[in-house]
Amino acid sequence: MNIGLDMMGGDYTPREAVKGVQLYLSENPSAALLFLFGDETQLNELLNEYSISSPHVKVVHAPQVIGMHEHPTKALKEKQQSSIAVGFHLLASGKTDAFISAGNTGAMMVGALFSIKTIEGVQRPTIATIIPKENGKTGMLLDVGLNADCKPENLNQFATLGSLYAQNILGINNPRVGLLNIGEEEGKGNILAQAAYPLLRENKAISFIGNIEGRDVFLDKADVMVCEGFTGNVILKLAESVYDITKQKGIHHEYFDRFNFENYGGTPVLGVAKPVIIGHGISQAKAFKNMILVAQKMIETSLLGKMKSAFKV
């Protein structure tokens, strides 16, 4: 199993990425071969500093870096030797089985959509976030920003993709799918939600439990919560801000601690043909380790194969 990791993208790289690799290897000594993309000299020095001389690590020289605020398409095109471009190149050519980066989100999205094909039958790939439930369980919400405008069938496909992810990666048996809406009964909501409801109800690949409301997002009502990417993105950023506000105000509670994104290891891009994980720009060692673990699990459980089967006509 070969996992590619962008060592340069993000605010605290390459050091924190190296520390994440160290953490991962210390806990999973022979799991995967890690391909580390970045400046060879810089990376070798850091690997040396952290005493990483494992045969499970392979540095791939990528002298360019795509900055956090560069234009995604332009940067990817012009910086063929960047860690993100090289990472996608190896993923597309089959040298690696997954690719992880905490770098420029736009460039990661463009790379995922254009270097890696969409799963046949999937109309629109999607990005998901983990939602900590107040009773200690974990759910997921999708789409969280890739698709600001959706058609009903998009939401239906997000439900299928999310269910497979929840089952295989989060370990939730028969995940309950809820349609995020502004009322409980069928027929409530905006035009999109009203039209998506019957599609979800007829979808044999999921366990649809009906509408859920804003008040149910953090409650253990549905495991997979689907919505268009506008509302999902607003919720994601709002939840992150609640975490920031509690930290800043010195409000400590284990429930809010679970909002720390580092625990979940990045946002998977679902619906593309290979595992791609996008990390938060402020990812540190723990987040990098967890992203590697998620990628490993996506490969081990053959998640992509299962997704491909689900969309086979």
Strand pairing category for 276-278 and 207-212: unpaired
How many chain residues bind a copy of itself (CB under 8 A)?
40
Q: Does 266 bind a copy of itself (CB under 8 A)?
A: no
CB proximity list for 308: less than 8 A, separation 6 or greater: 119, 120, 273
Length of the chain: 313
Q: Does 230 bind a copy of itself (CB under 8 A)?
A: yes
Distance CA 244, CA 249 (A): 9
Q: Does 241 bind a copy of itself (CB under 8 A)?
A: yes
CA–CA distances in Å: residue 186 to residues 199, 201, 229: 12, 10, 21
CB of 24 closer than 8 Å to CB of 55: no
Among 11, 49, 120, 134, binds a copy of itself (CB under 8 A): 134
Segment interacting with a copy of itself, rule: CB under 8 A, options 33-41, 75-83, 86-94, 222-230? 222-230
Q: Does 216 bind a copy of itself (CB under 8 A)?
A: yes
Q: Does 73 bind a copy of itself (CB under 8 A)?
A: no
3-class SS of residue 52: coil
Closest separation in Å from C-beta 143 to a copy of itself: 11
Site for a copy of itself in 166-205 (CB under 8 A): 180, 182, 189-191, 193
Residue 29: CB atoms within 10 Å: 9
CB proximity list for 262: less than 8 A, separation 6 or greater: 280, 283, 284, 286, 287, 290
For 48, the token pair is 């040396």
Closest separation in Å from C-beta 150 to a copy of itself: 9
Short-list 24, 63, 18, CA closest to 44:
18
Q: Does 125 bind a copy of itself (CB under 8 A)?
A: no
Among 31, 33, 242, 310, binds a copy of itself (CB under 8 A): 242
Q: Does 10 bind a copy of itself (CB under 8 A)?
A: no
Segment interacting with a copy of itself, rule: CB under 8 A, options 52-60, 68-76, 231-239, 268-276? 231-239
Segment interacting with a copy of itself, rule: CB under 8 A, options 53-61, 151-159, 169-177, 250-258? 250-258
**Angle subtended by helix axes 83-92 and 105-114, to nearest 10:** 20
Closest separation in Å from C-beta 81 to a copy of itself: 29
Residue 140, φ and ψ in degrees, nearest 5: -135, 150
Q: Does 68 bind a copy of itself (CB under 8 A)?
A: no
List contacts with a copy of itself (CB under 8 A): 134, 145, 148-149, 180, 182, 189-191, 193, 213-219, 227-231, 233-242, 244-245, 248-249, 251, 253, 255-256
